[in-house]
Amino acid sequence: MDGRGSVSGEELFEGTVDGPAVRESTEGLTGLWTEILGADADADAGFIANGGDSLKAVLLADRIFTLTGQELDFLEILDTPDLATLARAVRGSRD
């Protein structure tokens, strides 16, 4: 993560599918949520509960795509119950 809170695609998705990768990608997504939402995201709450809406979900999906080249539907972001689940969804889109 750089001084502005941005992460590279590699930083967002390092590690294995289990524990460490989920934690690292969750940390990367937290940085992106902070960038989009303007406040720290609660890792145990969903995107909407953290102040997200459809426009912000589209912005987050675009930011994930810009950093990683991976597409994620904004509706998936809206329906995600927590950051770890979103991290798994993003990682799953790479396979």
Q: Domains, the chain, ranges and CATH?
A: 9-94 (1.10.1200.10)
Of 67, 70, 87, the closest CA to residue 19 belongs to 87
pLDDT at 10 over 80: no
Of 84, 77, 89, the closest CA to residue 44 belongs to 84
Residues 30 and 45 sit within 8 Å (Cβ to Cβ): no
- When pLDDT is averaged across residues 53-72 and rounded to a whole number, the result is 90
Residue 25: predicted pLDDT: 61
pLDDT at 68 over 70: yes
Residues 77 and 56 sit within 8 Å (Cβ to Cβ): no
Residues 77 and 60: their CA atoms lie apart, in Å, by: 8
- Single-letter code of the amino acid located at 58: V
pLDDT tens digits, one per residue of 26-44:
667 777 877 887 766 677 8
The more confidently predicted of residues 26 and 70 is: 70
Residues 61 and 72 sit within 8 Å (Cβ to Cβ): yes
